[in-house]
Structures are given as structure tokens and as C-alpha cells.
Chain A
Amino acid sequence: MRTGGYAAIRDYAAIGDGRAVALVAADGAIDWLCTPDLDSPSVFAALLDADRGGSFELCPTEPFRVERRYLPGTNILETTFHTDGGAVRVVDAMTLAGPGLSPFRELARRIEGLAGHVSLRWHIEPRFGYAGATTRIERRLGIPVASSGASALAVQCWNADESVAGQGAIGGSIDLSAGESALIALSIAHQEPLVFSSREQVEERIEASARAWAEWSSGRNYDGPWADAVIRSALALKLLVHAPSGAVAAAATTSLPEDVGGERNWDYRFCWVRDSAFTLGAFLGLGCAADARAYFWWLMQASQLTHPRLHVLYRLDGGARAPERTLPLSGYRDSRPVRIGNGAATQLQLDTYGELLQTAWLYAGSGQRIDDDIARRLAEMADLVCRIWRDPDAGIWEVRSEPRHFTQSKMMCWVALDRALDLARRGLIPDRHAQRWAREAQSIQEFVETRCFSGQKRSYTRAAESEELDASLLLGVLLSYGDPGSDRWAGTIEAVRRELGNGPLVRRYTGDDGLAGPEGAFLTCSFWLAEALARSGRVEYAARLMDQLVALGNDVGLYAEEIEPASGAFLGNFPQGLSHLALINAALAIAEATRQ
């Protein structure tokens, strides 16, 4: 099941508590956990260095077969191991704090004997600070505790043998017959003393967490097609929401490769402005008004630091600095460098202005109030777009080659001014410069229509005076640049499908991006194609494509950033928020188009 110590990315499931996310492999190992928050340094990072990264292994001692699922409507994972001797079920949860004194963070693993007799081994190697910090293991009140600096982790277990092994590890064995159960709980502390719990308290928190997740998902008002995939995507998205602020991380990991063995490895544990319109659209479409409000306010709060300019991404705490550096880890299947931070943060990406104005437009359209200060800032952003839309930029895909006049960037500048004009017409933002916005929007449209369309391909192109293609052009359909039923859009959708498509999958673009090596098909673009088809009237085709894409999720319904078309292997960071957002929005659009 593993190659060189690494599980396939497709084999992971995610559990979390609104602050931290752990990735659990199909063989029971937890190979990724950052605490106290998902953008903090890791304590388990075997995902990025199988030898040194640290992990929490738990599996039968004899050969086994695995079945997995999430408990219905929850982010609590259930893994059932079948062996020749019997079967056991492992319930994995990052528990939510309840009444009473509970740990700062808690990862609980309950093991239940289902049939026959099964022996399991468990082995924990905590490696704080991306495996770079010294980890000390001692006992407190008889409980093994691993600590480093201001972080610590206690390992409490019940009905399981336990010992502190050499090399900074804690482990033991579990023997279960049908009807018996064991429990292992990691109590995690950061900048405070550890909290040790009783077994009953941990069990109660697992049950309470299951109830809380089920209650949240039962409140989602979606009854269209692919409902299971949509709700699972909403739950995956909720795992990426940083509960204290409402920010949404793009993914829970860093440096899972877009090309195994290559250099396309990025830290996605930040909130991208690019994703904002999709995020708000999905929240509103699924009836998550509170999440939508929190997200919008966080976005406007964070972007205040750089106003009127937007950074490409912001930290989950709202900070604007995300300096990129590399870690001395071997990387997922030797995919180096392993990066933390993201150098794209300070790129110029003109599309972000369109996506932010679209976000504000959606927010206002849902009946929410935009206060005077934010209204003024939105108008000032529209003014800025008028000044900078003629500049070349790095584009939505944040290429590391020379800036260009990317067509999608220009289209999103048009979207920014179009939405600003609409907000101004409705008296929601100041309209002093509305005439200028209208003039510049017209100029942008002329630029796109005359310099960014290929008569030969009958398609908009990736950049001005180019014959390259880019699937992000589909966002023009999704965000209403022009008439989605026009010949130009029909030609573009067809060209994207023809030249970037591979079965149901779609690659991002043709042409150079300043990096070596290939990449897989980009799942988000595949869902965008489905949504574009639905919005341009080809609903049945869109639904067929959606059927195929929904089937490409892993066994628990999660998606990475990309898929290798030939093998179906997942590539890139995981779980990927944008893939799940695109799934939700495509399903909503197809359901809406079907109703009409």
C-alpha cells in the first residue's frame, strides 16, 4: 500500500476541529498534523518525510483489508480493518471542546472489536517543529508526555499496552475480541499546561463532536443531485475554516507535489483572495449564512492591511506576510523542495480585484449590509483597477515566469468594475467615479475582444496576442463576462474541452509557466467546465460530466488539487478547498439550470 514509506495521496482522509487538521492514511497511520492550528509547524509530518517526519501508526499486526467511511454527516472517520482472525473498527476524531476542562487540542482514536480476535500495534513518533525541534519524552502522573518548547503532547491510553520506546517514540499493542474496546487519546497543549482526561470524558467528547458535526451538516439546505458529494465537500470545506477568524485555508497541507519528484510543491495553508467569490457563493448556496458573514468580514479586515492593493493571499490570522522558505525534509516521494510560506503572496494578480468585488456583490445580494467604511474601500478598489488593469500580471495561476497580459485577469478587472457599477447604482457604494468605471470597463472589453481572441481557434486565448489556451477563461462564463450563450463563449468552451481536456479531466493551460516538469489535470477546472456548460445551456452534457467527476473522489469523497489522468492518482495539496468549492458551485449551477 506504500511506496518508499509513502501512502498514495488518494489514500488519506482528513479529520479536524476547526483549528487543526490531521490526515489519516488507509493503513491507519496519521502522517500529518500541525498544531495548534493547521498553519502551525507540524508534529506529524511523515507525509513529507517518511523517515524523520513523525507519525501515529495504528494497524493490525497481521495482513488486513480496509473499509472506510465518515460517520454520516460528520468529519469523524471510521476505518474497519478485516483480518483472517476477525475485524476491528477505529473511530478517529479531533474532538470539539465541550463543557468542563478539556484539552487545548485532542486527537482521539477509539478501537472496537467487531468479530473474532485482532491484535494491533500502535507507534507514535512526535516530531515537533517540522521535525526540526528537539523533542523530549518524559512521564507526568505516569502518562507519557512529549514536549518541545511551548508545545506538548500527552498519550493517554486505556485497554492498551504502552511503553516509551527508544528514539523518542511511544507505542504498544492492543488485543481485542468482539465486544471489547480500547482508546488512545492525544492531549495537545500549546503555551499552557496539559490537561489529562478520564476515559469517560474522552468518549463523551467523541460522541458530542459527532453530534455537533451532524447538526451542522443537517442544516445545509441542498436537495439537488450529487447531494452526498456536495455535503461531503461542505464538510471538507468546514475543516479548512479557521474557526477563530472565519478564514478558509486553500488546503490542509504544504508541498504535496503537483509532479511527483518535481519542484511544483507549494504551501497552501493560507487564504487566497482568488477563492473568495467561490467560497462565499458556496456558503450562501448551502445556507451557511454565519460562515459567509464571518468569511466576508475576515476578508475585508485582512485586506485592510494592504488597502487599496490586494495581496494574493493572507495568513489565517489575517497577517499579510508569508515569506517563503524551504525545510530540510526529504519531501513526498522525494519531491523537493518542501516549502513553507508562499512567495506568490506579493505577486500582482489582477483577477483578485474581480473576485473580491464579486464577493462583495454576492454578499450584498444576499441581503447582508455593507457598512460605509467597507463601501468606501470597495469604491477605492474599483478606482485602483482603473489605474492598473493595463499592467501585465502573474495571472490566477501565479506563474513564476515573466508577467503577461493574461486574458482572465483582464476579464476579472471588467468584472470588478461591472460589479462596482451595480453596487453604486443600488446606492451601496459611493458612485462619484462611476462614469470613469464605465469608461474603463468598456476599454477592458475592447482590449479582450480585439487582442485576446483567436479567430483560428475560435476561442479566447490565455494571453493577449497568443494562441495558448487557459481553462481559467471559463470563469468569464461563471462570473458573467458577456453572454454565456454567445458564439465566442461556445467556441472557448469547446476549445478548452478539445485542447485541455482528457476524458472528464481538464488541464490548466498550455504554454510556459516558469517551472520545470509537467503537472496533472486540475480538478477545479474540470468542475468549472461542468458549470460553464450548465450556464451556457448544455445542462445534460454538464450533468454527465459531473457524474464522471464525482466518481473521481477518493473512497471517502475527498479531492486533492490535481489528478494524474492516466493512473487516477491524486496530486497536489489535500484536501483541496478549491476543488470542493468548484464541485459545490457546479452542482448548484446544474441544479439551478435543471430547474429552469
Chain B
Amino acid sequence: MSIWGAIAGGFAGTLVLTTALRAGNELNLTRMDLPFLLGTAFTSDRTRAKALGYVLHFLVGLGFALVYYAVFLAIGSSGWWLGAIFGLVHGLFSGTALVDTLLPLIHPRMGTRSTAAPSVALLEPPGFLMRNYGAQTPLVSLAAHIAYGTLVGGFVSLAG
């Protein structure tokens, strides 16, 4: 196992994940737009938010790859299938705790379950498994995260 494999896998995995989510938009399956959600935490300018969001999303993708790598090291095993399982867990975690619960708490422009009549522009919260962004969103998100995990796991094992 090699950390460079994790970084390469994180890069490739994030590329595939981002592309899959964008394809989900174009196929009319979901309104989820992670770069937009991330970027608007820092700026209210749409264009800047999307550009910044893509950069942040890639950095987060690399960060998660390093977390995967640490767990692979801890259990002494890695591989495509193990990566896919990690991706599934990662996708479930993202759709529940991370984006549904934590992100609205720290995002200055996102409503929470306790928000009522807004005094400033607020982004629609994602809801459980991000289903607010479309009923098919959980499937798209899980498929994209499984692809991400598979690539990270595979690259780590190949680099070993």
C-alpha cells in the first residue's frame, strides 16, 4: 500500500464522482450540486461559488482518500471490493450525517429544520439521504460514492 496510490485514487475517484453527479443532473435524476453547496458556504456569488466549490470538492475528495488509506493500513488490507464497501458507507454517511445534519449547521446560507421565514436568502436543505434534491438522489449519490471508493481501494492496492 502506498500513500501515492491513495492520492492518485482520490484524484481519479473524485473525478468520476463529480462526473457521475453531473450526469445525474443532466439525466434529470437529481438537483444535487455538491460544488454549489460547498462554494456557497464561502461566497454568495454564484459563479465564484461553483468554481470554489469544485476546488473544495477535489480537496475533500483527496482528504477522504487519505482517511481510506489510514483505515486500509490499520486493517492491513485493501482492494477494489473493500474500497467499494468503504464507498457505500461513505455515501450513506454523506447523505445522512454529513450533508443532511452537519452541513446545514455550519453553512451560513443553508436552512435547518428549525428555520422559519427567512430573513436572508437560504439554500434548500438536502434532507435525509438528500432526497429533497430529487427522489433518485440517494441512488445517484451512492453509485457515485461506490465508484469513488472502488477507485481509491483499487489504486491503493495496485500501488502496493
Contact yes or no, A141 B125, CB < 8 A: yes
**C-beta contact mask, A128-152 vs B, less than 8 Å → 1, else 0?**
0000000010101110010101111
Complexed CA–CA distance, A175 and B45 (Å): 37
| Known contacts A141-B115, A142-B116, A150-B31: A192-B121 contact under CB 8 Å | no
- A97: which B residues are within 8 A, CB to CB? 46
| Known contacts A145-B124, A149-B134, A196-B121: A189-B31 contact under CB 8 Å | yes
Which residues from 110 to 141 on chain B have a C-beta closer than 8 Å to any C-beta of chain A? 111, 115-127, 132-135
Tell me if B37 counts as interface (CB < 8 A to partner A): yes
Contact yes or no, B28 A149, CB < 8 A: yes
**Closest chain B CB from A159 CB (angstroms):** 12
Closest B residue to A152 by beta carbon equals B31
Tell me if B40 counts as interface (CB < 8 A to partner A): yes
**Closest chain A CB from B32 CB (angstroms):** 8
**Closest chain A CB from B110 CB (angstroms):** 8
Contact yes or no, B29 A141, CB < 8 A: no
Choose among A102, A145, A193, A194 the residue with the greatest number of B CB atoms under 10 Å from its CB: A193
Complexed CA–CA distance, A189 and B36 (Å): 12
Contact yes or no, B122 A195, CB < 8 A: yes
| Known contacts A141-B111, A193-B126: A102-B132 contact under CB 8 Å | no
Contact yes or no, A136 B135, CB < 8 A: yes
**Closest chain B CB from A132 CB (angstroms):** 12
Contact yes or no, A196 B118, CB < 8 A: yes
- B32: which A residues are within 8 A, CB to CB? 193
Contact yes or no, A150 B124, CB < 8 A: no
| Number of CB contacts from chain A to chain B under 8 A | 92
Q: How many residues belonging to B are interface residues under a CB distance threshold of 8 Å?
A: 35
Choose among A136, A149, A189 the residue with the greatest number of B CB atoms under 10 Å from its CB: A149
Complexed CA–CA distance, A196 and B25 (Å): 20
| Known contacts A141-B115, A147-B134, A149-B134: A195-B29 contact under CB 8 Å | no
Which of B27, B31, B46, B122 is within 8 Å of A196, CB to CB?
A: B122
- B124: which A residues are within 8 A, CB to CB? 140-141, 145, 152, 154, 189, 193-196
Complexed CA–CA distance, A198 and B109 (Å): 12
Closest A residue to B120 by beta carbon equals A198
**Closest chain A CB from B97 CB (angstroms):** 18
Complexed CA–CA distance, A195 and B44 (Å): 11
Choose among A140, A142, A190, A198 the residue with the greatest number of B CB atoms under 10 Å from its CB: A140
Tell me if A219 counts as interface (CB < 8 A to partner B): no
Which of A101, A141, A152 is within 8 Å of B44, CB to CB?
A: A101
| Known contacts A136-B135, A140-B111: A191-B121 contact under CB 8 Å | no
- A502: which B residues are within 8 A, CB to CB? none
Which residues from 303 to 345 on chain A have a C-beta closer than 8 Å to any C-beta of chain B? none
Tell me if A201 counts as interface (CB < 8 A to partner B): yes
Contact yes or no, B31 A193, CB < 8 A: yes
Contact yes or no, A196 B29, CB < 8 A: no
By DSSP majority rule, is chain B's interface helix, strand, loop, or mixed?
Answer: loop
**Closest chain A CB from B22 CB (angstroms):** 9
- B18: which A residues are within 8 A, CB to CB? none
Contact yes or no, A196 B111, CB < 8 A: yes
**C-beta contact mask, A185-211 vs B, less than 8 Å → 1, else 0?**
000011111111110010000000000
Q: How many residues belonging to A are interface residues under a CB distance threshold of 8 Å?
A: 28
Tell me if A100 counts as interface (CB < 8 A to partner B): yes
**C-beta contact mask, A80-104 vs B, less than 8 Å → 1, else 0?**
0000000000000000010111100
- B119: which A residues are within 8 A, CB to CB? 198
**Closest chain A CB from B155 CB (angstroms):** 30
| Known contacts A100-B44, A141-B116, A192-B33: A197-B28 contact under CB 8 Å | no
**Closest chain A CB from B120 CB (angstroms):** 6
Tell me if B30 counts as interface (CB < 8 A to partner A): yes
Complexed CA–CA distance, A136 and B45 (Å): 30
- A152: which B residues are within 8 A, CB to CB? 31, 124
- A99: which B residues are within 8 A, CB to CB? 44-45
**Closest chain B CB from A311 CB (angstroms):** 24
Which of A136, A141, A151, A190 is within 8 Å of B122, CB to CB?
A: A141
Complexed CA–CA distance, A242 and B19 (Å): 27
- A196: which B residues are within 8 A, CB to CB? 111, 118, 121-124
Contact yes or no, A195 B126, CB < 8 A: no
Contact yes or no, B118 A197, CB < 8 A: yes
Contact yes or no, A190 B31, CB < 8 A: yes
- A189: which B residues are within 8 A, CB to CB? 31, 124
- B109: which A residues are within 8 A, CB to CB? 101
Closest B residue to A190 by beta carbon equals B31
Which residues from 11 to 41 on chain B have a C-beta closer than 8 Å to any C-beta of chain A? 25-33, 36-37, 40
Which residues from 35 to 80 on chain A have a C-beta closer than 8 Å to any C-beta of chain B? none
- A194: which B residues are within 8 A, CB to CB? 31, 123-124
Choose among B26, B120, B122, B125 the residue with the greatest number of A CB atoms under 10 Å from its CB: B122
- A201: which B residues are within 8 A, CB to CB? 120-121
Complexed CA–CA distance, A196 and B119 (Å): 9
Which of B25, B46, B115, B121 is within 8 Å of A150, CB to CB?
A: B25
Which of A102, A193, A195 is within 8 Å of B133, CB to CB?
A: A193
**Closest chain B CB from A516 CB (angstroms):** 36
Contact yes or no, A140 B118, CB < 8 A: no
**Closest chain B CB from A161 CB (angstroms):** 15
Contact yes or no, A149 B121, CB < 8 A: no
Closest A residue to B27 by beta carbon equals A150
Complexed CA–CA distance, A102 and B30 (Å): 20
Closest A residue to B22 by beta carbon equals A191
**Closest chain A CB from B8 CB (angstroms):** 30
| Known contacts A140-B111, A149-B28, A150-B134: A101-B36 contact under CB 8 Å | no
**Closest chain A CB from B58 CB (angstroms):** 19
29 interchain pairs, CB-CB under 8 A = A101-B40, A101-B44, A101-B46, A101-B121, A101-B123, A142-B116, A149-B28, A149-B134, A150-B25, A151-B31, A152-B31, A152-B124, A190-B31, A191-B26, A192-B25, A192-B31, A193-B32, A193-B36, A193-B37, A193-B126, A193-B132, A194-B124, A195-B121, A196-B111, A196-B121, A196-B122, A197-B118, A198-B118, A201-B120
Query: Residues of B at under 8 Å CB distance from A?
Result: 25-33, 36-37, 40, 44-46, 49, 109, 111, 115-127, 132-135
Instruction: A193-B33, A195-B124, A198-B119 given; name 19 further pairs at CB < 8 Å.
Output: A99-B44, A101-B109, A101-B123, A102-B121, A140-B124, A140-B125, A140-B127, A140-B132, A150-B27, A150-B28, A150-B29, A151-B31, A191-B25, A191-B31, A193-B36, A193-B132, A195-B122, A197-B121, A198-B118
3 shortest A-B CB distances, which residue pairs? A149-B28, A194-B124, A191-B25
